[in-house]
Amino acid sequence: MGIPFNRDSGRGVDSLGIPSEQFRETVRAALGRQDGPPSEPYSALTHNLTDIEAQAQTVRERIARETPELLDRLAATAGLRGWNVHRCDGAEEALGYVTSLVQTLGASSVARSEQAVFDSMPVDAAIAGAGGLCWPAVYEGPASRTGVRQRLAESGMGITGADYAIAETGSVVVLPRRGLSRLVSVVPPVHVAIVRPSDVVGTLDDLFALRRLEYVRNGGDMGSYLNFITGPSRTADIEQTIVVGVHGPREVHMVLLNEE
Amino acid sequence: MAEVVTRQFVPASQAAVKDAQLRQALRRAGTGFDGTRREAIEEVSPEVWEEWREEARRIKEHTIGHLDYYLEMLERNVTAAGGTVHFAVDAQQANAIVSQIARANNVQTVTKSKSMVSEELGLNHTLEAQEIDVFETDLGEYIIQLADETPSHLVAPALHKTRGQVAQLFADQLGVPYTEDIEEMARIARVALRQKFLDADMGISGANFLVAETGSLVIITNEGNGRLCTSAPRVHVGLAGMEKVIPSLQDLAVFLRLLPRSATGQRITSYMSMVTGPRRDEDEDGPEEFHLVIVDNGRSRLLADPALRESLYCIRCGACLNVCPVYQRVGGHAYGWVYPGPIGSIVTPGLVGLGQAKDLPNASTLCGACRDACPVQINIPRMLLHLRHNIAEGPESYRDAGSDTGSLLARGFAAIMSSPRLLGVGRKIGRRLLAPMAKGGVLGQSRIPLVSRWTRSRDLPVPAPRSFSEIWRDELSGKGPTGLQD
């Protein structure tokens, strides 16, 4: 068993330490086990594409049926986990909310990703109208790295889209893509996530069933990261007292669109 | 490897119980973490909680039982994603691997998110010896790094420190004005570390889970430091004990439900980062290289003993520490190594050797609160008893000089307890000897020869005038006191 990989494997960096076969031999000896797969197949590891597709299809159908309830649940849970949830009927209302935030914060520099959600939401123009500057945090060659980072560190707000939002946990999920720096949602002190109804899933199990299908379809590539964001950055490391905004944002806003 | 001072458990714990500041810090932690944990369980219902625990245990049992197979799967998939996996048999080898990666990449500065394995390895000192600047970025870890101390709790490393102590530390080490305002102290740490995050050449993280089928490393954090350490530097090195593997992406869900609730009572942490290989060409940013260092360092010894194997199911939530009557009195440092509390009393002897840590399995009342709190149903008291047995019956080196007295006493006690006749005689003699010295039926904290280590801090009851079997006999013949029949 195993998934055929299309990607070039490795980047030519040698493995250090002891050979993996020797390491596994120690483990095998400790277990008193013969080499080979488990005698009972592990059901969560099935690579039968038909099964995985069927499972994902069931999940998608249930989500489609329950979308209004899931949006309500997402809004409620996200609120409990520390998001400022703002439900909007359309792009215009969403833009109004974002610009009022920019004004309240007095943020002169607002970083954003370059994602499809902004195509129908001209956020740059709206923020410019409110006296701020909204700029896409994308790199143009390695030389721009330091400059983009420094600008990010000085920005008062970062705006991103979402790939998923989980009703069970109140989390926004982001996946890697061109146009989305990993730092936009974590470096500025305020993060705004734009969530569309089609992003919502019910549970952690829903999410992992859907991602697993993508993984197997992609020939075994997960993408470099899958990140959950659930409320503001917080710590309780001094006397169990909760403080928000220690290294990540102190304030997070979920702009939840009721329609696409 | 981190310095092992487990032999000092007895004097260290005696000193700890007299430390008023520590007692105050521990009391706050015990009620805080455990209270919210219980609320979180009530919220999902104890029945659902039990189902989750059983599912998690099944996953761990299966994975650890086929660990060689899943390590191979993990390595194959990390490599396919463009990462490199390194295997280290011990701390020295693991430290050498990380040093070599640092040298190959001309690393000057490292930012670290919390990793108990790196504490176990003593990695920071190794890197610092090569003139690499290492910055712990989790606030608790940052505090103990400034204080040059070790963590005292699995999830809250600086739990032993009061706000006043942190305030003094920041004033001394960072040259900031003294403040006990916790929000201000967090802001000081944010400012001190902000630029380090963006400038660091290498980020080091631990791993809460490793997903074999996708080759992914999963960390859950609250501060955002984990995301910064794994996103901003050119090189990301993940460190993990070999037991962290789970088979499938779909196995992750139940652990994401159990771990935060068990650790701090949170329903989920602020951040969950799942990292699979370095940045791809189409990604906007991220590390150019991803390395995963898998560490044995004594774990295969725990694996080889079927009676201790389940200690490797531990997900390091710290729930057993928060409910343990011993940990709650003595704190984490008394245990003398990186892993304190009930689970540490099994893992530490496994990793550093039982001969060096033989006081730890005895540092338990066997009340079972740890087993009930464990999200993967680890039977900690059973393993502590197993280790006590190994200490008593094992090689000579495990015993104290002079522990022959203890062994003789135990044998005498066993002989008396297994003979009704001897027990009757012993009771009468004991009563006659002790009754004249007793007050209210007990001997208060006395120094009785041979057993003074037990009695000097405990009351010793004087044997009762009549034994249970005498009362029982009288009851059956119908002439004794009543009250035994309810």
pLDDT at B400 over 90: no
Cα distances from A18 to residues A199, B118, B295, in angstroms, run 44, 19, 11
Query: Of all residues in chain B, what percent carry a pLDDT higher than 70?
Result: 95
Residue A123 lies in domain? 69-201+221-257
Q: Tell me: the pLDDT tens digits for A178-208?
A: 999 999 999 999 999 999 999 999 999 999 9
Interface probe for B, chosen from A1, A222, A229, A242 (most Cβ of B below 10 Å), is: A222
On the 0-12 / 13-18 / 19+ scale of CB atoms within 10 A, B247 is buried
pLDDT at B369 over 50: yes
Dist CA B27 CA A75 (whole Å): 36
* B231: closest chain A residue by CA: A182
Dist CA B368 CA B377 (whole Å): 11
| Residue of B79, B138, B285 with shortest CB distance to A10 | B79
Token pair for residue B95? 């430290």
What is the mean pLDDT of the segment spanning B153-174? 95
* Cβ separation A24–B72 shorter than 8 A: yes
Q: What integer pLDDT is reported at residue B479 of this predicted model?
A: 66
Give B482 to chain A, closest Cα distance, Å: 53
Q: What integer pLDDT is reported at residue B486 of this predicted model?
A: 43
Positive or negative: CA dihedral B398, B404, B405, B410: positive
Q: How confident is the model at residue A46 (pLDDT cuts 50, 70, 90)?
A: confident
What is the mean pLDDT of the segment spanning A40-51? 87
Which one is predicted more confidently, B227 or B475?
B227
Q: What integer pLDDT is reported at residue A47 of this predicted model?
A: 79
- Residues A80/A73, Cβ–Cβ less than 8 Å: no
- Residues A149/A183, Cβ–Cβ less than 8 Å: yes
What is the mean pLDDT of the segment spanning B384-400? 79
Q: Which residue matches tokens 């003139």?
A: B131
Core vs surface per residue B387-425: b (16+ CB within 10 A) or e: beebbeeeeeebbeeeeeeeeeeeeeeeebeeeeeebee
Set of chain A residues whose Cβ sits within 8 Å of the Cβ of B293: 17
Which of A118, A129, A110, A104 minimizes the C-alpha distance to A255?
Answer: A118
Q: What integer pLDDT is reported at residue B399 of this predicted model?
A: 59
Interface probe for B, chosen from A81, A247, A251 (most Cβ of B below 10 Å), is: A247
∠ CA A96-A102-A108 to the nearest 5 degrees? 140
pLDDT at B403 over 70: no
* A40: closest chain B residue by CA: B62
Q: What is the identity of the amino acid at B88?
A: A
Q: What integer pLDDT is reported at residue B424 of this predicted model?
A: 87
Give A38 to chain B, closest Cα distance, Å: 7
* Cβ separation B89–A239 shorter than 8 A: no
What is the mean pLDDT of the segment spanning A200-222? 94
pLDDT at A5 over 60: no
pLDDT at B398 over 80: no
In a domain, A23, yes or no: no
**Taking a contact as any Cβ pair under 8 Å apart, which residues of chain A between 136 and 155 contact chain B?**
138-139, 145, 149-150, 153
Q: How confident is the model at residue B407 (pLDDT cuts 50, 70, 90)?
A: confident
Cα distance between the two ends of chain B: 60
| Residue of A27, A180, A224 with shortest CB distance to B303 | A27
pLDDT at B251 over 90: yes
Which one is predicted more confidently, A227 or B435?
A227
Q: How confident is the model at residue B279 (pLDDT cuts 50, 70, 90)?
A: very high
What is the mean pLDDT of the segment spanning A245-259? 95
Q: What integer pLDDT is reported at residue B482 of this predicted model?
A: 53
In this structure, CATH architecture of domain B6-300: 3-Layer(aba) Sandwich (3.40)
* A223: closest chain B residue by CA: B276
Q: Does A5 touch chain B (CB under 8 A)?
A: yes
Q: Tell me: the pLDDT tens digits for A87-138?
A: 999 999 999 999 999 999 999 999 999 999 999 999 999 999 989 999 999 9
Q: How many domains does chain A have?
A: 1
Task: Residue B434: count other Cβ atoms within 10 Å of its Cβ.
Answer: 18
Set of chain A residues whose Cβ sits within 8 Å of the Cβ of B194: 153, 247
* A36: closest chain B residue by CA: B69
- Residues B44/B267, Cβ–Cβ less than 8 Å: no
Q: Which residue matches tokens 């003699």?
A: B429
Set of chain B residues whose Cβ sits within 8 Å of the Cβ of A150: 198
Q: How confident is the model at residue B481 (pLDDT cuts 50, 70, 90)?
A: low
* Cβ separation B68–A27 shorter than 8 A: yes
Share the mean pLDDT of chain B. 92
- Residues B240/B205, Cβ–Cβ less than 8 Å: no
* E strand residue ranges, chain A: 84-88, 109-112, 133-136, 157-161, 164-166, 171-174, 190-195, 200-201, 225-229, 234-235, 243-244, 251-257
Which of B259, B185, B162 minimizes the C-alpha distance to A245?
Answer: B185
Interface probe for B, chosen from A34, A48, A182, A224 (most Cβ of B below 10 Å), is: A224
Set of chain B residues whose Cβ sits within 8 Å of the Cβ of A22: 87
Q: Does A48 touch chain B (CB under 8 A)?
A: no
* Cβ separation A227–B272 shorter than 8 A: yes
Q: Tell me: the pLDDT tens digits for B74-117?
A: 999 999 999 999 999 999 999 999 999 999 999 999 999 999 99
What is the mean pLDDT of the segment spanning B188-211? 96
What is the mean pLDDT of the segment spanning B290-294? 98
* B286: closest chain A residue by CA: A182
Q: How confident is the model at residue B127 (pLDDT cuts 50, 70, 90)?
A: very high
Q: What integer pLDDT is reported at residue B458 of this predicted model?
A: 76
Set of chain A residues whose Cβ sits within 8 Å of the Cβ of B256: 169, 204
Strand partners, B92: none
**Taking a contact as any Cβ pair under 8 Å apart, which residues of chain A between 178 and 237 contact chain B?**
178-183, 186-187, 203-205, 208-209, 211-212, 215, 220-237
What is the mean pLDDT of the segment spanning A147-158? 94
Taking the domains of chain B in order of start, what are their residue ranges?
Answer: 6-300, 403-476
CATH number at residue A150: 3.40.50.10420
Q: What integer pLDDT is reported at residue A7 of this predicted model?
A: 37
* A26: closest chain B residue by CA: B300
Q: What integer pLDDT is reported at residue A3 of this predicted model?
A: 37
Give B230 to chain A, closest Cα distance, Å: 10
Which one is predicted more confidently, B242 or A141?
B242
- Residues A210/A200, Cβ–Cβ less than 8 Å: no
| Residue of B80, B228, B278 with shortest CB distance to A247 | B228
pLDDT at A4 over 70: no
What is the mean pLDDT of the segment spanning B203-222? 97
Q: How confident is the model at residue B222 (pLDDT cuts 50, 70, 90)?
A: very high
* Cβ separation B186–A223 shorter than 8 A: no
Least confident piece of the model among A146-160, B161-175, B312-326, B455-469: B455-469
Q: What integer pLDDT is reported at residue A259 of this predicted model?
A: 85
Interface probe for B, chosen from A27, A81, A175, A183 (most Cβ of B below 10 Å), is: A27
* Cβ separation B89–A18 shorter than 8 A: yes
Token pair for residue A70? 């899931």
In a domain, A10, yes or no: no
* Cβ separation B274–A240 shorter than 8 A: no
Set of chain B residues whose Cβ sits within 8 Å of the Cβ of A204: 252-253, 256-257
In a domain, A177, yes or no: yes
pLDDT at A215 over 90: yes
pLDDT at B39 over 50: yes
What is the mean pLDDT of the segment spanning B417-446? 83
pLDDT at B462 over 90: no
Q: What integer pLDDT is reported at residue B278 of this predicted model?
A: 97
Which one is predicted more confidently, B28 or A91?
A91
Share the mean pLDDT of chain A. 92
Dist CA A249 CA A252 (whole Å): 7
Set of chain A residues whose Cβ sits within 8 Å of the Cβ of B84: 10-11, 13-15
Core vs surface per residue B347-356: b (16+ CB within 10 A) or e: bbbbbbbbeb
Query: What pTM was computed for the model?
Result: 0.92
What is the mean pLDDT of the segment spanning B211-219? 97
Is residue A89 classed as helix, strand or coil in its secondary structure?
coil
pLDDT at B22 over 50: yes
